[in-house]
Structure 1
Amino acid sequence: MLRPLPLDATTSWFLIGLLHLALAAAVWTVLTGRHSRRSTLLWCSGSALAGLMMLLYAARGLLPHVPMIVVANVCGYAGFALRWAALRSEREQTLPLAVLGLAVLGASTAVPLLDAVGPQWRVLGNVCFNMLASLALCVEAQALGRVRASRSARMVGWSYGVVALVLFLRLASLLLGGGAPAAPAIDTELILLAWMLAALWANLGYVGFAIEMAERRARVRSVELAAATEGRELAERQAAELKTLSEERQELLRVISHEVRQPLHNAQAVLKGAADALHGAAPVAALERARSVLREITRSLDNTLAVSTRLIQAQPPPLRDTDLDMLLELALGDLPDEGRGRVRVQRDSAVRTAALDVALMRLALRNLLSNALAYATPGSTITLRLADSDEPLALIFEVCDDGPGIAPTLLPRLFERGVRGRHDVHGQGLGLYIVRQAMRLQGGTVEARSSAAGSTFTLMLPQGREPT
């Protein structure tokens, strides 16, 4: 036989209500910023409403009977609903808010209606609804413990399981006693102890669950950080290896440039000297043909090396203030003697200097002029026009020919790598690709227009930028 509690029931309800409120405030203080704000708010709000419900029960003699019952039950059942929603949110499940609202409203309305029938019916209904709500919390907490493999969540479930069991015993005693509203002292003591257990164990269990989840997130972040660090180190090693390979490749290209191009230039010089010495003799035509072939090989090699070195660099080259007449002379000097005489320079601009990269611009002009000489009507004049534009501020080069024009189906792909206008003209399809890349690196553009009367290629190089 248990001894009577040293405190009366009203004082005990009051103290347990204050305990719920204090623990709700403590849990909120501990977990704010450390756990899911949504779940923490739901849980702490539910625990605080449970405490408020108990305070209202403790003060039931000071308030009107029916309003007290309504307000207390709304707080109590809403507290159950919010704590259940918090546990379900931890499982990342959708919250049936409409169902919860209807359940709270139905239970809160049913109790005063039962009270109107008789006090014993109100007690039976209230105990039954609280038992079912506690059982729902127990089941949800146990499900959370299984999903998250959390002993703390199971601790929450067992605490509300004990409450549900005690309320079941109270319900059984009421039914066996004929539904009398006055319960034995042992029932009241057990209910008070169960609610105290729920206040302590459930809130401590929820904090423990949050700590477990925080530790798991920390472990996951640690593993991810280690993986990211390992990945970064691997990327750095690969970058270093690629840099080494790139440097070796560049060195190889420099060797190719020196070891292959220089002998070709020397051979051209020797052949020119031989042609001059044998001027008028029969072998001259053969020597000129050999010079032409060597010149074509040199130009093709220059283009190949340009694609492999200068045109693949990531950073644009510095643009320098350059004399345009010198640039035109360099571009024309790259052409064979018989082709140079076919090019007519038309200057429609008084501009003497411009900001550009000499090597890239020379490469672009040389390829455009060489293409025009190869594809235009034999013996026709090629016009190299220099102009400027105020809006936008730019330098314009135009290369015009009177050839047969470019097929409309070819125009959209004209500047792609490997595209050739005719297969009877020697080349690798790099010329116009190189032109586009050379202009891109300088911030410029190239466009092509064509008709049956000929083709015009326009290079536009923006100005107004500070030369380096």
Structure 2
Amino acid sequence: MLPSISPTTLTLFTGVVYALLSITVWVTLRRQRSTPHVDLWTAGSLCLGLGVILLALRPEPPQWWVLMLTNTLLISSNMLRVVGLSLDPGLPLQLRRAGGLWLLAVTVFAAVLAFGSTQWRVGVALLLHAAGNGLVAYFAMRSAQRIPSRSGLVLAAVEWLVSAAVLQRALAVLGGSSPPSTLSPELSFWLLAATMIAAALYGNLGYLGMEFDRLGEAELRARREQLEETARREAAERSAVQLRAAIDQRDRLASERDQLLQMLAHEIRQPLHNASGALQAAAMLVQAPQPADSAEVSGRLVRAQVVLGDVRSVLDNTLAAALMLTRRDPLVVQDVDLHLLAHLVLGDLPDAQRARIRVEWYTPLRSAELEPGMVRLALRNLMRNAFEHGGPEVIVTLRIEDQEHPPAVVLTVADNGIGRPGPTLEEGGAPLAPPSAGSPDAVRRGLGLVIVRRVMALHHGRLVLAQNWPRGLQARLVFPDPTDNPPDNGPGASARAAGAAP
């Protein structure tokens, strides 16, 4: 048998629960966030608790001001909670409209209280409370969907249940009959009590859970924005680093171009002057009244030819260096006949130097994937350097061989001259030196090694300088298999390779 509790005690208990839980919610959420919608919700819940307490403690028969105060508190509670929920972004409810609805509800109840019967007073009050609970349920559902929050959806369901129960009671009162029920009065009372207790408890606890969900969503959104901001900052820093690297590379290229122009002006002016003088002297000997010695004329012409060859070498190296600095297209290699390449390189040299060159084959290969023009220029520079620093009796050897680990074609230019000191071998030649840094020959040899290094960088190979046994110097050009290297032939790659160690 169910215990017996009077309706007054149950109503008073429900009001006290509403009031205490509203204060609890306010204290809890006030520590987390100070926002107007929390204050409005807790104020509305407190008004609801006080109104229910007054409803339980009102005297019999109740005076009009007690009824007016009680129902004003109940109407205000619903409107304050609706405004608190509507302050959620995306659910705008104008305060003027909310104030107008509150004023209309209070005015209607005051008119019914003044001129209506008891039946109409109770019925209209219940209709107003049902409409208020319906608005609370609607805005709670919309707010819960936006967060999203399961607690908010349960809160909306509880408010809808309360609204439906109050509306059913209002229609029964206005109809002049008690609500039909097949349940016993005692069981019906306890179902009503359970509904009131559930509304009293979850009316505030559901809102508390919804606010915690809102806080969690805001924290997650803030964390996501922080991660996005960090990613944007890192991307900006990477872009800044790349921009600085591009600026540094541009400055290096501009400096190298300036040095190339300086060297070009220095290297070509004097050799052209010497060649012009040799040709003029030869012309004077030919045009002299007395026939000139043919050997002397031939010597003058050979001297002019040698000087013009030097000028040609300087022009080729300078133009090649300028093109390598500015090239952006990938290197186009082709299957080059190594015999033909060797003959072309020998044909670029004077007859006297060509007679002191030996070609040795240590491989059955007859072709390789190369860019013939650049490789020809690189071999010519190495041979000219060998003749310049090796001495008047130097013998230069061009060896063509291959290696297996890793697979590569190796072209070696070796001499039996005086060699070069160890530090020079380690440096492999200065990248680019201004004309004032040394003699013209030293500058030309330094540029020649720079050309060789860049040619090897474009082929993803390397230049290896070493002492030749038992005397002299050897320069090995190692061309790896093109299928084992990525196609990175831009100006940045050649610029990086120019300053790299062999």
Give the TM-score normalised by the residue count of structure 1.
0.50
Return the index of the structure with the highest Cα Rg: 2
